[in-house]
Amino acid sequence: MLDTFFQMFEYDFMLRAIIVGVLVALCSALLGVTLVLKRYSMIGDGLSHVGFGALCIALAMNLAPLTVSVPVVIIAAFLLLQISENSKIKGDAAIALISSTALALGVIITSTTTGINSDVNGYMFGSILAMSDADVVVSIVLSVAVLVLYVVFYNKIFAVTFDESFARATGTKTKMYNTLVSLLTSITIVIGMRIMGAMLISSLVIFPALTSMRVCRSFRKVTVTSAVVSIICFFVGLFVSFAYSLPAGASVVAVNAVVFLLFSIVGIIKRKTS
């Protein structure tokens, strides 16, 4: 068992996946707390489908995946925010519209060009081999930017998430912070979906926040616990996938689901005894 564990670090592709994965797990866990509390859980799902469409276009046109999908997903995030604020179509419905349209577009483009090959399959369900060295550099830079911005604006993000009207009334530019959160989310989703897959990346946003909320009762504790839980789950998931030759993304989601159940039980016991 221990041998297998250390073997994991001997492969370059595994190292790349671990570095990027841990960073993404951290970023998505932090952002997830805000998104889940603001009832925007599905935004990760919607954006990842848009990301899938963008990746298919990049593949068909032989362009670098990240340089195409990052701007496209950011634009989609802005659109979603705008639509859910200003129009009669509510947030969740808007996400469903945009995500299924993007998915359809991706499938159409793929079927007329490359067909559903292993690349496309990798976009859907993630691939541990997906990251090139250049991707790793871009991913590290972007994730570090997400982390720094989150820490710098932590208190503002709390204020805006907890009570947007109060924050706005007392002079906080809430729109700017909402935009910031969706910008950071877009970047995290695009980086993460390479490993986790478009279909599974949203779990990285939702699970850690919900898991920690089973047990923790303050915002700070929830945030820190989410981050820790997310990293541990990613690591364990990746190891399970390596040891038993299972798909990486699916394994990480499965581990997250198990930990969620464990925390739920702990939460119930805690409430009964207190």
Partner 1 sequence: MSIISCKNVYMNYDSTKAVENVSFDVEKGDFLCVIGENGTGKSTLLKGILGLQKLNSGTIVFSGIKQGEIGYLPQRTVVQKDFPASVWEVVLSGRQTKGFRLFYTPEDRKIARKNISLMGIDDIKNKPFNELSGGQQQRVLLARALCATQKVLLLDEPTTGLDPFVTAELYKLIASLNRDHGVTVIMVTHDIKNSLEYATKILSMEHDGDFFGTTEEYMKTPAAKLIFGGDADA
Rank residues 99 and 174 by Cβ distance to partner 1 and give the closer one: 174
Beta carbon of residue 232, minimum distance to partner 1 (angstroms, whole number)? 20
Rank residues 90 and 168 by Cβ distance to partner 1 and give the closer one: 168
Beta carbon of residue 126, minimum distance to partner 1 (angstroms, whole number)? 30
Rank residues 5 and 162 by Cβ distance to partner 1 and give the closer one: 162
Beta carbon of residue 243, minimum distance to partner 1 (angstroms, whole number)? 35
Chain centroid to Cα 148, Å, comes to 17
Rank residues 83 and 130 by Cβ distance to partner 1 and give the closer one: 83
Spatial separation of the C-alpha atoms in residues 226 and 130, rounded to whole Å: 26
Beta carbon of residue 147, minimum distance to partner 1 (angstroms, whole number)? 15
Q: For residue 170, which amino acid is it?
A: T
Beta carbon of residue 162, minimum distance to partner 1 (angstroms, whole number)? 6
Q: Can you say whether the dihedral through the CA atoms of 81, 82, 83, 88 is positive or negative?
A: positive
For partner 1, the binding residues (CB under 8 A) are: 37-39, 152, 155-156, 158-159, 161-163, 165-172, 213, 216-222
Rank residues 5 and 166 by Cβ distance to partner 1 and give the closer one: 166
